[in-house]
A = this chain, B = another copy of it.
Amino acid sequence: MRQYAFRPAEALAEYPEKSQPAPAPQIPEGALVIADQGVFAAGGIVLESDGTFDPVNGQHDPTGQTRTSWMTTPDGRDGWNDIFLCKGYSTYLVDQPRRGDAGQTSTAQEISTVTQDQAWFTQFRLGRWPEFNEGSQFPQDEASIDQFFRQMTPDTSAFDQTVIADALVAAFEKSGPGILVTHSQGGMPGWEIGARSDKVEAVVAIEPGSVPFPASMNPDEITYGYQIPYEEFAALIEKPIIIYMGDYIPAEPSDLNAENFWTMVLAGSRQFAEVAGSMGGDITVVHLPDEGITGNSHFLFQELNNEEIAGHLYAWLTEKGLG
């Protein structure tokens, strides 16, 4: 989905005389004036499986979220789509191939019907089901939790990084230059897209599932991540990159593998920044608690302080000449 923002600055360009007060921006011809927009789920049922959820060994099948994630928050406030439209950015929201409205596929897989909200609750660091982490920024009323889990939809076919990257490189050819914002599993195709598309001006990775390193490195030295061809790595780090990581990432090993995973991602991200930096790259890793922004889960762009975090990103983009 694409939405082109109206930029007041453009409309005002026809009034260059500094001596005159700038008029209030008028509605440009052909523009849509939208009082409000968003998305919600309605209806459906909630099923419970027998047994007791085990947070330590809890497993989950592949499933994920869609462009819906950017269009609202669990409690129905403005999502990052609206927040960045208001800052004057045009936006393109993506359903990746084999998921959601882009579910058509030539290589189908079985659709999972496993009940797994409790596993995701833990994996996403909302807390240890049914308890939220102390100080959590996630809206904790029942309706919000219900809306959040209904944002998930199963993959119609296996996750394939190349298929996704091919589609996004093609999407950038249609959109023109832009900033690529990825989340979670989308992080890995994101690195490939950043390397391959000359239309990508910067990469913003929110808690990426993994981080890349050049094939030239000794694999034993890699804390966490995967290796890609040197040329691909070099092409990627020509662009400014920022990685955001939330709260509740344990410094010491936890009894929850779901939590330890994020400790690895954070360490890997810092090493990625270091390696890329030594090659001239401009990589910033933001561990939000270090900035005094606490209480965030894996879905930091949807939580109660999502506007504050958007502001943090906007400041970085502005610094990079992309404001």
A contacts, CB < 8 Å to B? 1-6, 24-28, 30-45, 47, 63, 66-68, 71, 82, 85-86, 90, 95, 97, 99-113, 115, 150, 152-154, 156-157, 163, 166-171, 173-174
Query: Which of B39, B43, B113, B168 makes the CB contact (< 8 A) with A170?
Result: B43
A30 partner residues in chain B, CB cutoff 8 A: 35-36
B153 close to A102 (CB less than 8 A): yes
B105 touches A113 (CB 8 A): yes
Of all A-B residue pairs in the complex, the 3 with the closest CB atoms, nearest first, are A43-B167, A108-B111, A6-B33
Interfacial chain B residues near A154, Cβ < 8 Å: 103-105, 108, 156
Bound CA span A105–B114, Å: 9
Distance A85 CA – B174 CA, assembled complex (angstroms): 25
Residue of B nearest to A169 (CB): B43
B contact residues around A110 at 8 Å (CB): 108, 110
Q: Which residues of B contact A115 (CB under 8 A)?
A: 106
**CB-contact partner of A43 in B39, B42, B168, under 8 A:** B168
Q: Are A43 and B3 also in contact (CB < 8 A) when A27-B33, A32-B33, A106-B113 are?
A: no
Question: Nearest residue in B to A174 (C-beta to C-beta)?
Answer: B42
Give every chain B residue within 8 A of A47 (Cβ-Cβ).
Answer: 106
Chain B residues within an 8 Å CB radius of A157: 111
Residue in B5, B99, B108, B166 whose CB lies within 8 Å of A35 = B5
**B97:A100 contact, CB within 8 angstroms:** no
In the bound complex, do residue B40 and residue A174 qualify as a contact, i.e. CB atoms below 8 Å apart? Answer: yes
- Select A33's contact among B31, B100, B105, B111, beta carbons within 8 Å: B31
- On whether A173 and B105 interact (CB within 8 A), knowing A27-B25, A33-B32, A37-B4, the answer reads no
Q: Note all chain B residues with C-beta closer than 8 A to A102.
A: 41, 150, 153
* A3 CB contacts on chain B under 8 angstroms: 34, 36-37
Name the residue in A82, A95, A112, A152 with the highest tally of chain B Cβ atoms < 10 Å from its Cβ.
A95
Assuming the contacts A43-B97, A43-B167, asked whether A82 and B156 have C-beta atoms less than 8 A apart, the reply is no
Whether B37 lies near A104 (C-beta < 8 A) is no
Q: Say whether A101 contacts B104, CB under 8 Å.
A: no
Known: A24-B26, A30-B35, A42-B167. 10 other contacts (CB 8 A): A2-B38, A2-B39, A25-B27, A27-B27, A34-B34, A42-B173, A44-B163, A63-B104, A66-B101, A154-B156
Closest to A91 in B: B37
* Interface pair B107/A109, CB less than 8 Å apart: no
B-side contacts of A97, CB under 8 Å: 43-44
Least Cβ distance of A205 to chain B in Å?
21
